[in-house]
Amino acid sequence: MAFEPSFFPMGSQRAARMRGGVVQNEESSWFMPSGGITRIMGFSFVMSLLRKVLGGQAGSDSTGGSSYFMDSVMLFLLGTIAEASRRLFAWVIDRFKLFQYSITAQFTEGDPVYEWLIHLMTEEKIWLRSRQFRVTAASSLRQWTVNLEGNKTEGHVDEYAEYVPTYEDAQLFRFGGYWMEVKRGWGNNRINGQVFINGAGNVVGRLSLTIYTRDMGALSALVKEARRRYLETSRPHVVVHSIDQATAMHVGASPWSTAKAKSRRPLNSIILQEGVIKSLIDDAREFIKSEGWYTRAGIPHRRGYLLYGPPGTGKSSTIYAVAGELGLEIYSLSLAAGFVDDSFLARAVSSIPKRAIFLIEDIDCAFPSREDEEADTASAHLAIASGINQFGMGMHAGRRPRSSVTLSGLLNVLDGVGSEEGKLFFATTNYIDRLDSALLRPGRIDKKIQYKLATKAQAAALFLRFYPPESLSLNTDKPNPTQFTDEKEMEKEKEKETGVSSIDTLRLMADKFADAVPEFEFSTAELQGYLLMCKEQPEEAVKGVVAWVEQEKVDREARKQREEERKRAQKEKASSGETVRRGRQGAAGGSQAVAGTKGGAVAATPA
């Protein structure tokens, strides 16, 4: 029987022998049906060669024992050849890399270049060949999704669900005339077997890209092209990067692991006093343009803006509109987040890329208010009086969130090299008087912009933004439901019937609306809230505004009284704590005095 040993299913041959059966020709082996694999792979030739060589040396294989010996030797030699070939192959591949036939680059998630590359590859439909996806409900999180149905790739292609490849399957593709291979690994992002999940629910990882070329320029050309395409796609949006605690704690990963794409807000949708927004945009543009001047003058290329004023007056909206206008991405950080301390702040700022906006909203939370200080003192007194240790002090009820960042930590970050390179620093606050003067000095804050409650002009402008001319049912047979009383309005009504433009009527209504709104009493956000109740009904908005203003005033008064009540209660609690403390001190002082007297008496006795 011609026997060609299969080197693989050893177990099955042995098992056959153990069962006392005859070793079957592997043509009947389940592992190697028809024995074709050995032939296909050219092993039959190798085996017959080996058999010849060994057969010549070992003599005849007619006995069962020498046949077994021959088989074993041949298998051993075959295994040796296989291993040697594998090593040779690995050696050749290594030489290939050594002689720079390929370039390998790593990209870490959270870094902008990673995003550029993922976006490019999504556009190139490289991930469509992927077999693993993470499917989530559509949200404002910026993700590079693929459209599995239409075989298209865009930012958000499905209204309800997003299909994000996990990038775990290695992909070989051709781009720009080069063969490239991309695969995703975890780098150092596994600790104790745990992977880190970013805010989007993705595992934070690294992309490893191999380009099969000796031309080093291929990599930079790829990155440039990826950036260009990314900026092109991002243009209609403002990308806002933020941090999430899970990745923030991991030193290897970028702290900016969550990105959201917001629709760009047109500058004219921000209603501020004349010229405010224009001067801000001009200033920021001039700053970005003059990098060379800053370098020559030896001045760090950074600029700080502080937007301050009551809540709901448009500070944040202004920053988003500026970012959209200048095509800058925002890196937004809240100092109130419990895990943000000085060292984290320094790490986060140093990883913000060149030409971006670094935003700290409500920066005053890094500085205690007078009320907080009073409350701290009161808590301390209470704690001492009642014998509680002072570590519970920060848990005061009703306290606004306090930052772990210190003033010096914040100043170091603003002055540090991480804040240079064309970064625009924006901060907002409702309480400028709580900020330390060291923070406000030029070089840290170069421009301060005050926001105020709405003027009548702002109220009228907001009204006109809410109701475009089509919202008014003019030029219809039906009379306009708004009944105006003064002559001017009657005139306008007449004009309407003769085909006058609706914008004039709207202006008139806007003026009427603004007349009812007292100056500097309501924020733009509050007025917006009211107008939202009368969407597409400008007439109703004008009719109801007087009653709304009255009701708001009553509600405010009630809120004010409740707040005063709360403060009074807090003060009383603090002063009762102080009384207890004094009482204890007095008692302690008294007993000391008694002890002192006794001591004096004892001392006096020997004399």
Ligand X SMILES: Nc1ncnc2c1ncn2[C@@H]1O[C@H](COP(=O)(O)OP(=O)(O)OP(=O)(O)O)[C@@H](O)[C@H]1O
Question: How far is it, in rounded angstroms, from Cα 402 to Cα 394?
Answer: 8
Of 166 and 430, CB closest to ligand X: 430
Nearest residue (CB) to ligand X, 482 versus 528: 528
Smallest distance, Å, CB 405 to ligand X? 19
The three-state secondary structure class of 188 is coil
x/- site string to ligand X, residues 416 to 435, per CB under 6 A?
A: ------------x-x-----
State which of residues 103, 204, 271, 474 lies at the interface with ligand X (CB under 6 A): 271
Amino acid at 538: P
Nearer to ligand X, 351 or 524 (CB): 524
Q: Contact region for ligand X (CB under 6 A) — 35-43, 87-95, 119-127, 268-276?
A: 268-276
409 is a site residue for ligand X (CB under 6 A): no
List CB contacts of 518: < 8 A, sequence separation 6 or more: 549
Least distance in angstroms from the C-beta of 137 to ligand X: 24
**C-beta of 543: minimal distance to ligand X in Å?**
23
* Stretch near ligand X under the rule CB under 6 A, chosen from 11-19, 78-86, 253-261, 269-277: 269-277
Query: CB of residue 101 vs ligand X: minimum separation in angstroms?
Result: 55
Comparison of 317 and 369: residue with beta carbon closer to ligand X: 317
* Long-range pairs, 170-179, Cβ under 8 A, ≥24: 171/121, 171/126, 171/127, 171/129, 171/130, 173/121, 173/124, 173/126, 175/124, 175/222, 176/218, 176/221, 176/222, 176/225, 178/211, 178/212, 178/213, 178/215, 178/218, 179/211, 179/212, 179/213
Q: Give least dist CB 313 to ligand X, A.
A: 4
Q: Which is nearer to ligand X, 105 or 281 (CB)?
A: 281
Minimum gap (Å) between residue 559 Cβ and ligand X = 16
Smallest distance from ligand X to CB 305, Å: 13
Which CB sits closer to ligand X, 108 or 428? 428
- Chain residue at closest Cβ approach to ligand X: 314
- Smallest distance, ligand X to C-beta of residue 317, A: 3
User: Among the candidate windows 53-61, 127-135, 226-234, 266-274, which touches ligand X by CB under 6 A?
Assistant: 266-274
In angstroms, the CA 443 to CA 439 distance is 9
CB of 461 to ligand X, least distance (A): 8
Please give the full DSSP string across 360-397, using - where no structure is assigned.
Answer: ESSGGGGS--HHHHHHHHHHHHHHHHTT--GGGGGG-T
Closer to ligand X by Cβ: residue 257 or 318: 318
Q: Give me the least distance between CB of 185 and ligand X, in Å please.
A: 40
Taking the least distance from each CB to ligand X, the nearer of 114 and 320 is 320
Place of tokens 């806002």: 240
CB of 465 to ligand X, least distance (A): 8
CB of 453 to ligand X, least distance (A): 10
Q: How far apart are CA 93 and CA 385, in angstroms?
A: 76
Our CB check for ligand X shows the closer of 189 and 428 to be: 428
C-alpha to C-alpha distance for 545 and 531, rounded to whole angstroms: 9
Count of residues near ligand X by CB under 6 A: 16
**Per-residue string for binding with ligand X, 499-528, x by CB under 6 A?**
-------------------------xx--x
When the beta carbons of 226 and 541 are compared against ligand X, the nearer one is: 541
User: If DSSP codes are grouped into helix, strand and coil, which group holds residue 482?
Assistant: coil
Which CB atom, from 198 or from 524, has the smaller least distance to ligand X? 524
Smallest gap, in angstroms, from Cβ of residue 469 to ligand X? 20
Among 259, 270, 352, 414, interactor with ligand X by CB under 6 A: 270
CA dist., res. 144 & res. 233, Å (int): 11
Helices 217-234 and 112-123: angle between axes, nearest 10 degrees = 80
Closer residue to ligand X, CB minimum distance, 262 or 355: 262
Among 22, 26, 57, 24, which residue's Cα sits nearest to residue 43? 26
Q: Residue 164 in 3-state DSSP?
A: strand
Q: Hey, which residues between 293 and 322 contact ligand X (CB under 6 A)? A: 311-317
Question: CA 391, CA 155: separation in Å to the nearest integer?
Answer: 49
Contacts of residue 222, defined as CB under 8 A and 6 or more positions apart, other chains included, come to 117, 120, 175, 176, 180, 209, 211
Residue tagged 């009074």 (tokens): 568
| Cα torsion 222, 228, 229, 231: sign | positive
State the minimum distance, in angstroms, from the CB of residue 489 to ligand X. Answer: 27
- Which amino acid is located at 46 in the chain? V
| Complex with ligand X: residue 431 or 484, whichever CB lies closer | 431
Please state whether beta strands 178-185 and 206-211 pair in parallel, antiparallel, or not at all (unpaired): antiparallel
CB 366 within 8 A of CB 407: yes
By C-beta, is 109 or 526 nearer to ligand X? 526
What values do phi and psi take at 429, rounded to 5? -155, 150
| H-state helical runs in 474-537 | 487-497, 502-516, 524-533
Q: 403 vs 428, which CB is nearer to ligand X? A: 428
Residue 54: closest CA among 21, 78, 84? 78
CA distances from 138 to 125, 158, 167 (A): 20, 7, 19
The length of the chain is 607
Least distance (Å) between residue 273 CB and ligand X: 9
At residue 335, the 3 state secondary structure works out as: coil
Rounded distance between C-alpha atoms, residue 450 and residue 276, angstroms: 9
Residues that bind ligand X (CB under 6 A): 270-272, 311-317, 428, 430, 451, 524-525, 528
